[in-house]
């Protein structure tokens, strides 16, 4: 069975969904990322947090540190992306950030609607 290490500061319901799916969960303080799964480091961000991190400049620093710390960095952007894009100051900045994070740092990016889908 795959063991998933969850950052002890993670407050989403993703670990609960993973347990219900039969995964073994272990909580630890992680320096980078929210989950470690069989060599993959996963940073989960709500759409709101993604935009907040983007506009504050933290997003690229987080992506860099994730990529430097793990061979297989992954970012999950969770929530209603289209609603957030409508509210965004400039949607092109969002798409540019995704391309930059993916190509410059090698971070794989996935979009989900909710914690259950993220699990």
Q: Which of 33, 37, 11, 39 is nearest to 24 (CA)?
A: 37
DSSP state of 43: E
Rounded-to-integer distance, Cα 22 and Cα 52, Å: 33
pLDDT digits (tens, 9 = 90+) for 21-54: 999 999 999 999 999 999 899 999 999 899 899 8
pTM for this entry: 0.91
The CATH number given to whatever domain includes residue 94 is 3.40.50.10130
Note down the domain range covering 76: 3-118
Rounded-to-integer distance, Cα 101 and Cα 42, Å: 14
Confidence of residue 2 (pLDDT cuts 50, 70, 90): confident
- Position 71 pLDDT exceeds 90: yes
Rounded-to-integer distance, Cα 27 and Cα 48, Å: 25
pLDDT digits (tens, 9 = 90+) for 77-104: 999 988 878 877 788 888 899 999 999 9
Domain count, the chain: 1
Q: Which of 41, 54, 66 is nearest to 92 (CA)?
A: 54
Rounded-to-integer distance, Cα 91 and Cα 54, Å: 12
């Amino acid at each position: 069975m795959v063991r998933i290490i969850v950052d002890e500061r993670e407050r989403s319901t993703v670990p609960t969904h993973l347990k219900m799916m039969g995964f073994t969960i272990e909580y630890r303080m992680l320096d980078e990322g929210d989950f470690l799964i069989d060599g993959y480091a996963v940073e989960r961000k709500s759409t709101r947090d993604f935009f907040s991190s983007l506009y504050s400049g933290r997003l690229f620093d987080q992506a860099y540190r994730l990529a430097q710390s793990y061979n297989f960095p992954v970012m999950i952007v969770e929530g209603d992306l289209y609603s957030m894009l409508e509210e965004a100051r400039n949607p092109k900045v969002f798409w540019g950030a995704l391309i930059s994070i993916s190509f410059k740092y090698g971070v794989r990016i996935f979009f989900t609607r909710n914690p259950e889908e993220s699990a």
